[in-house]
Structure 1
Amino acid sequence: MGGKKPGFGKQLGDLHRWNAWITVILAVTGLLLAWDVVRGWLNGEARNPIKQLHIALGVLSAVLIVLYTPLMRRHLKQIRQRPRQKGNLAFVLVLLVGWFLSGIVLWQLRLFPPVWANAALLVHDLLTWVAVPYLVFHSVTRIRWMKQPERRAIKTAPAASPESSDPDRRRPYEEPAPWINRRQFLKWSIGAVIAVTAAPPFFRWLAKAGSGFTSTRDVMGTDANPNMMLPDPVPLPDSVNVIGGGAQGYFRPYTVTRFPKFDSNSWSFTVNGLVDNPGKWNWEQFLALSRAVQVSDFHCVTGWSVYKNTWEGIPLSALLQQAGVKPNARFVKFYSGDGVYTDAISLEQAGMKDVMVAVLHDGNPIHRDYGGPVRLIVPAMYAYKSVKWLERIELVEEEHIGYWEVRGYDNDAWIKA
């Protein structure tokens, strides 16, 4: 004999429970991936598995939506007289579908133009900021002990004798119920706590996402910049008058280790390897090198973009020409000042005219959190190729596999036009 088919109520209940747990784990893994501070604590080995788990759970959540679809008509019929439940169902479905669609774009962002990924990330973040507090509130207020009906104090008058002629003596009376019961009080208290906790960071995120900024100095303040690299007065010869109107968007600081600190007394920049004229400069010598200015877009492989950045620095081709590349050199390897991160591009790619060793962004020194004092800029590729805190360039013969490429990123980092 075959097993008994689960009833409609059990099917709905199972789907609801599975969706609830998946949403919780999605929220936790998503926040771990997106929260700047937490990303700095996690090393590369931890972040990629978290990302893959997040993607897998997103796909599983979509499967649950598909399984719910045949039950939707009957479910809507069941709750047709319950407007709150209908509203909650509509909200959750919009949330899940929005998360899923924007997640697909972020997951497969190489198939879409960067503007699609940027919009998808904005939608994904917005839904998360709105949904997580709501889902916490929804879950806590539906715990079984919270759903028990409030006992009302009802006082009934002594029973009247049949002979009594006073009608008020023949019917019970109720003491008026309080204007708010325990369940309502707890629900609104929980809601207020969640709102107070979530609202400030949400509005800070919304302000940054909506307005963008034109310099890292505007965001962090010069006093907060831990580079300690600039002599007084600061030399800003070319890009003080920002070309192109300034950056549109905002950077999300990521690091695979702790953010490093730099000092002009000990900082140096080196070009060596398979070159005829190895070079090493201290900070003041490096600032004295001839610089160029360009305007380009900056795209991160996680989906966000900053448009129309004005970068000022030394074209990589000029540095390599000055060093004199030997005939057997085939790749250019870059070393970050964090002591951990490396990456590489081919010698042919290094010759692109917009590949730059940048020292200024929109006319201001590049803040430490955004890769300063010196960072590589490769506009045609995703930003994991644009090494932050650049301190050394080495010409090599054998192909070097970079930090993120070893951990699953594609060595082909070209951005879809």
Structure 2
Amino acid sequence: MNGLTKLRKGYGKKLVRLHAWNGWIVVILAISGLVLLGGFWRGILGEGRVWLKGLHIVVGIASIMPVIYYLLLAGKHWKQLREKPWQRFNVLVVLGLLLGWFISGVLLWQFRAVGPAWANAALVVHDLLTWIGLPYIIYHSITRAKWLKEPQRRTIRDESTASGGEVTGAGQRGIHPAAGPQAVYSRRTVIKWSIGAGLAVVIGPSFLQWLGKSLGSGLGGGSIDEIVARDGNHLAPPPEPLPASLLPSGGGARGNFRIYTVTPIPTFNNDNWSFTIDGLVDKPMKWNWEKFVALKRKVQVSDFHCVTGWSVYSNTWEGILLKDFLREAGVQQAAKTVKFYSGDGVYTDTLTLEQAALDDVMIAVLHDGKPIPSDLGGPVRLIVPKMYAYKSVKWLNRIELIEGEHVGYWEERGYANDAWV
């Protein structure tokens, strides 16, 4: 008896166990993935989010093992299903989902190695499979439950006949007559369609919204004007864009920003907004909004990459180069680190003086010729194109030059200090 024959011996019980293992793997991946995606949990979990991400990756890698194990048993199982086309279809769908999740997950895990383009595509595929796969698996799990598959579990027993009385109209001892007549549509069919319709009603609108964002152009399938229109910031006067921003030099952003925050999104007006540069500088400075928007600005086109795998390409940013700010303030010799503060009162991050002197590190006030809305970190945010976006501090309102090092918000919670794309 060769190894494959031994493996297939008692394959029915093995398939049952395999089904259970796979179910638990999907449950763990679904819960951890949804928690990682939800902005609500980002601030609550803190460093735990990094551990949860690690668990998600480990379980995701392990998910290939049941697939390989099943493929070794598949020949016999496939023959058994030769007259059951829908069950064959289900097997193919589940295998496709698991393999798709695994491959796209590995690409996201190795985002540095594969580059932003592959990681961005993998994230869209991973999300699409989740939108399709989770409802399908929920539907499959409910409609394959024993109470739905076996009619006797859904009928009322007639105790008199169950104890030896006459046979019921259904032709079976102990089964209530209501179980006997066969309608045009069986109860099972009606329940299955009802479950499917319920899932469509609950999940459908969110899926269509996601699909529009993923397949649409610009920011999430809507124009920058729509995002600015719902902007919570109220600052006057608005910054006047330079000609290179009015018709964006980059041709308009390509891709979709995903909105992640660790606090509720703050909003600002002329009374509560200011910008400060202080610490180890010769000339500490502070601006109100009117004076800040009057500063001389420049335009640059750059790509924007998030460490979670998505990117937005060809952004036209307008603002003040950080190195010009530092030159104006006069950096003292003792200063080694540039520390950035977010207006949310929580988030901070840093750059070295060498990193801060890069030509494309910018304190931006406009994106594609429009004021940066609060959802995207406006009215002012840091842009560090050659690093992942957790370095590009949102709602920037203070820069401090310090002598020592400072561990940023996400670096303190496990993110790499090396944020280079």
**TM-score normalised by structure 1 residue count:** 0.89
Larger relative contact order (C-alpha < 8 A, sep ≥ 6)? 1
Q: Deviations over 1:230-261 (max 9, x none)?
A: 33x65334422222211111111101122112
Q: Which amino acid aligns with 1:298?
A: F
SS in 2 for 1:295: strand
SS of the aligned residue for 1:127 comes to helix
Q: Look up the match of 2:109.
A: 107
1:409 corresponds to which of 409, 415, 420: 415
Correspondence for 2:369: 363
Amino acid at match of 1:287: V
- Give 3-state SS (helix, strand or coil) of 2:399's partner: strand
Query: How far apart are the structure 2 equivalents of 1:107 and 1:405?
Result: 18
- Partners of 1:253 and 1:39 in 2: CA distance: 13
Amino acid in the other structure paired with 1:202: F
The residue type equivalent to 2:274 in the other structure is S
The letter of the residue matching 1:67 is Y
Which aligned runs of 4 or more in structure 1 are off by greater than 4 angstroms? 150-156
Other-structure match for 1:235: 240
Q: Is the 8 A contact 1:43 1:257 kept in 2?
A: no
Q: Map residues 304-315 of structure 1 onto 2, 5 A cutoff.
A: 304-315=310-321
- Give the direction of change, closer, same or farther, for the CA distance of 1:218–1:50 in structure 2 (3 Å limit): farther
**1:89-146 deviations in whole A, cap 9, x for unaligned?**
1110010000001001111211111000000000000000011111110000011110
2:49 is the counterpart of 1:8: no
Aligned to 1:178: 183
Aligned to 2:272: 266
User: Shift of the alpha carbon at 1:44?
Assistant: 2.3
Residue 215 of structure 2 corresponds to which residue in structure 1? Answer: 210
Q: Letter of the aligned partner of 2:137 in structure 1?
A: L
Give yes or no for contact 1:342–1:387 (8 Å, CA) kept in 2: yes
CA-CA distance at 1:283 after TM superposition: 0.8
Shift of 1:40: 5.6
Q: Structure 2 matches for 1:69-108, cutoff 5 A? A: 69-108=71-110
What residue in structure 1 maps to residue 351 of structure 2? 345
The answer (yes or no) to whether the contact 2:47–2:414 under 8 Å persists in 1 is no
The aligned counterpart of 2:141 is 139
Equivalent of 1:197 in 174, 193, 202 = 202
Using the aligned pairs only, state the percent identity.
Answer: 55
| Aligned residue number for residue 275 of structure 1 | 281
Counterpart in the other structure of 1:31: 34
Partners of 2:125 and 2:225 lie apart in 1 by: 25
The residue type equivalent to 1:29 in the other structure is S
Match 2:338 to one of 310, 314, 332: 332
CA RMSD across the alignment = 2.2
| Residue matched to 1:47 | 49
Aligned length: 391
Q: Which runs of 5+ in 1 are unaligned?
A: 157-174
Shift of 1:53: 2.2
Partner Cα distance (2:42, 2:224) in 1: 21
- Using structure 2 for the length normalisation, give the TM-score: 0.88
User: 1:246·1:310 contact (CA, 8 Å) conserved in 2?
Assistant: yes
Q: Secondary structure at the match of 2:18?
A: helix
Q: Superposition pairs for residues 284-299 of structure 1, below 5 Å? A: 284-299=290-305
